[in-house]
């Protein structure tokens, strides 16, 4: 039997977890002579996006798809579907691990926060259980204290009269806490609470962040919050070779060609992640605000939707997909604005030297991508744990400016104009920009030889090579 340590990696459905977990696998196998198999739970045939990522992996990272989980509920939150797929995949996971264990030196199972029920399966096969945490150390610190918060609180957290202090970070109003804890009676909350209780049973937690970004939070986590559970900063892991837009030749994305003609640091990227959507009224305020700022912008725009996380096209006809924008907006901004409907190669855009600012929904991947490329941000949170990220980035880390809503919860055009100008021309913008430049090189160092995240990776590899003594 092959002696090389082998790890199984179980990302929950969706690209947001598969990409950083695949990047983690790449670094581990590249630097530490370890083999990995990515085991993918499914609810249907593999998507093109999944295939692109998996096909680009080096030969010592294998992958397999578990049998699809069908009979899923309709019209429910994405988190419920993800949890059901993960639960429905446990028995095929058992078969997959049994097969790997019989042929290889399988030592560990790495899962994300939707996959913690597989800890039981890992135990059956005497494997280490590692949690891959694709959010910030702050969000992890909150997850550690959730159990206590649950015991001490009756009713919903959004009604809490006082803010919740997250150890090693800032405090948050109850309504800002991450989406999985917002409805305490539902199965997503119960699952997340169970994760909080299980943290102390893990063999390690791999956090997609880095010491130089969240040093204080990591210190507090290690000091007392995490107890005996090792916490490893392993980030910032972003997609290293994104295939969503070729860099050269005729298939180079139009928006990159447009950026080539713009002055250095002059363009604000506006993007709300893979699923963010705005109401029609909010889209109009944003369009007018960008126009009034007089700055150049590249806007990845989606059709209006009242739900903030609906990524599909509605309300726009096929022939005129941008018909929902204010009348005359496209013509008036044609010289300094570029609109991409629905999707664009975000990492390539952020790495372009014409980009000088990023209006972002504060998804953790987008945040890390901005940090890696040294781009100052404006925080416009929409859902998930983005309100927490936004407060952390503005209050604790000085990496972003924050927009203020009006009494109806809307960001008005005057506010958008003001904050875009402040980011691109003002003193606050300059301060943030300087800090981002420093963090950009710190991020690069963290993942270079001898860097903080590379050191974590070596410790994990050492643990894997020692093997579990269960």
Of these, 196, 303, 346, 389, which contacts ligand UDP (CB under 6 A)? 346
Sequence-ordered alpha helix ranges (H) in 6-47 = 15-32
* Known catalytic membership, residue 62: no
Of these, 60, 87, 182, 244, which contacts ligand UDP (CB under 6 A)? 244
Of these, 132, 329, 364, 380, which contacts ligand UDP (CB under 6 A)? 364
Task: Please name the residue that has the structure tokens 């959010």.
Answer: 135
Least distance from C-beta 361 to ligand UDP, angstroms?
6
End-to-end CA distance of the chain: 20
5 counts as binding ligand UDP under rule CB under 6 A: no
Least distance from C-beta 273 to ligand UDP, angstroms?
3
Of these, 347, 390, 432, 460, which contacts ligand UDP (CB under 6 A)? 347
For residues 236 and 275, which CB has a smaller minimum distance to ligand UDP in the complex? 275
351 counts as binding ligand UDP under rule CB under 6 A: no
Residue 54 Cα to chain centre, angstroms: 19
Least distance from C-beta 179 to ligand UDP, angstroms?
11
Site string for ligand UDP, 286-305 (x = CB under 6 A): --------------x-----
CA triple 239-244-248, angle to 5 deg? 105
Task: Please name the residue that has the structure tokens 């893990």.
Answer: 202
Give the contacts of 409 (CB within 8 A, at least 6 positions apart). Answer: none
User: What one-character DSSP code corresponds to residue 450?
Assistant: T
SS3 content of the chain, % helix, strand, coil (to 5): 45, 15, 40
6, 112, 116, 284: which is the annotated catalytic residue? 112
**Half-sphere exposure at residue 234, Cβ-oriented, CA atoms within 13 angstroms:** 30
Query: Total residues contacting ligand UDP (rule CB under 6 A)?
Result: 17
Q: Applying CB under 6 A, which part among 203-211, 266-274, 409-417, 440-448 lies near ligand UDP?
A: 266-274
For 374, the 3-state DSSP assignment is coil
275 counts as binding ligand UDP under rule CB under 6 A: yes
Rounded to an integer, what distance in angstroms lies between the CA atom of residue 118 and that of residue 108?
12
**Half-sphere exposure at residue 12, Cβ-oriented, CA atoms within 13 angstroms:** 24
- Would you state the structure tokens that stand for residue 88, as one six-digit string? 């429905």
* Known catalytic membership, residue 17: yes
Rounded to an integer, what distance in angstroms lies between the CA atom of residue 45 and that of residue 67?
9
344 counts as binding ligand UDP under rule CB under 6 A: yes
Site string for ligand UDP, 71-110 (x = CB under 6 A): ----------------------------------------
Residues in the chain: 470
307 contacts 297 by C-beta, under 8 angstroms: no
Least distance from C-beta 192 to ligand UDP, angstroms?
17
277 counts as binding ligand UDP under rule CB under 6 A: no
Give the contacts of 302 (CB within 8 A, at least 6 positions apart). Answer: 272, 276, 277, 278, 311, 313, 341, 342
Task: Please name the residue that has the structure tokens 């996959």.
Answer: 115
Rounded to an integer, what distance in angstroms lies between the CA atom of residue 423 and that of residue 396?
18
For residues 349 and 446, which CB has a smaller minimum distance to ligand UDP in the complex? 349
6, 17, 63, 284: which is the annotated catalytic residue? 17
Q: Applying CB under 6 A, which part among 67-75, 323-331, 363-371, 391-399 lies near ligand UDP?
A: 363-371
**Half-sphere exposure at residue 190, Cβ-oriented, CA atoms within 13 angstroms:** 6
Q: Which residue is nearest to ligand UDP (CB)?
A: 363
Of these, 363, 374, 381, 451, which contacts ligand UDP (CB under 6 A)? 363
Give the contacts of 190 (CB within 8 A, at least 6 positions apart). Answer: none
Of these, 16, 174, 180, 304, which contacts ligand UDP (CB under 6 A)? 16
Of these, 274, 421, 442, 467, which contacts ligand UDP (CB under 6 A)? 274
Of these, 23, 285, 369, 385, which contacts ligand UDP (CB under 6 A)? 369
Q: Applying CB under 6 A, which part among 51-59, 192-200, 269-277, 429-437 lies near ligand UDP?
A: 269-277
273 counts as binding ligand UDP under rule CB under 6 A: yes
Nearest to 304 by CA among 291, 289, 319, 285: 285
List residues with catalytic annotation.
17, 112
Residues forming the site for ligand UDP (CB under 6 A):
16, 244, 271, 273-275, 300, 343-347, 363-366, 369
């Amino acid at each position: 039997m092959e002696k090389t340590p082998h790890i199984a990696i179980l990302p929950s459905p969706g690209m947001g977890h598969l990409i950083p977990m695949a990047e983690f696998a790449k670094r581990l196998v590249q630097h530490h002579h370890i083999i990995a198999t990515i085991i993918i739970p499914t609810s249907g045939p593999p998507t093109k996006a999944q295939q692109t990522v998996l096909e680009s992996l080096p030969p010592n990272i294998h992958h397999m798809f578990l049998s699809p989980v069908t009979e899923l509920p309709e019209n429910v939150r994405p988190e419920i579907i993800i949890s059901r797929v993960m639960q429905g995949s446990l028995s095929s996971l058992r078969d997959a691990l049994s097969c790997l264990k019989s042929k290889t030196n399988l030592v560990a199972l790495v899962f994300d926060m939707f996959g913690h029920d597989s800890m039981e399966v890992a135990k059956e096969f005497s494997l280490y259980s590692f949690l891959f945490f694709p959010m910030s150390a702050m969000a992890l610190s909150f997850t550690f204290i959730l159990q206590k918060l649950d015991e001490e609180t009756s009713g919903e957290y959004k009604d809490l009269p006082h803010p919740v202090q997250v150890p090693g970070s800032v405090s948050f109003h109850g309504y800002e806490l991450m989406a999985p804890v917002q409805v305490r009676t539902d199965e997503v909350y119960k699952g997340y609470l169970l994760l909080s209780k299980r943290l102390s049973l893990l063999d390690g937690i791999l956090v997609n962040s880095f010491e130089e970004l969240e040093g204080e939070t990591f210190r507090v986590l290690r000091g007392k919050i995490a107890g005996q559970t090792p916490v490893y900063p392993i980030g910032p892991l972003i997609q290293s070779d994104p295939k969503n837009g070729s860099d050269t030749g005729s298939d180079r994305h139009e928006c990159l060609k447009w950026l080539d003609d713009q002055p250095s640091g002059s363009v604000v990227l506006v993007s709300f992640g893979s699923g963010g959507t705005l109401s029609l009224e909010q889209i109009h305020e944003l369009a007018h605000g960008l126009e009034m700022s007089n700055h150049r912008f590249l806007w990845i725009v989606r059709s209006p939707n009242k739900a903030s996380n609906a990524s599909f096209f509605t309300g726009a006809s096929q022939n005129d997909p941008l018909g929902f924008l204010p009348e005359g907006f496209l013509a008036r901004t044609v010289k300094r604005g570029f609109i991409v409907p629905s999707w664009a190669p975000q990492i390539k855009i952020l790495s372009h030297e014409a980009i000088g600012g990023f209006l972002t929904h504060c998804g953790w991947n987008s945040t890390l991508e901005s940090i890696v490329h040294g781009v100052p941000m404006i925080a416009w949170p929409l859902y998930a744990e983005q309100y927490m990220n936004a407060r952390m980035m503005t209050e604790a880390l000085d990496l972003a400016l924050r927009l203020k809503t009006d009494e109806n919860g809307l960001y008005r055009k005057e506010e958008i104009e003001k904050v875009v100008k402040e980011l691109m021309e003002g003193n606050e913008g300059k301060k943030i920009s300087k800090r981002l430049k420093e963090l950009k090189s710190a991020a690069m160092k963290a993942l270079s030889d001898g860097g903080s995240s590379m050191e974590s990776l070596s410790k994990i590899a050492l643990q894997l090579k020692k093997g579990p003594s269960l």
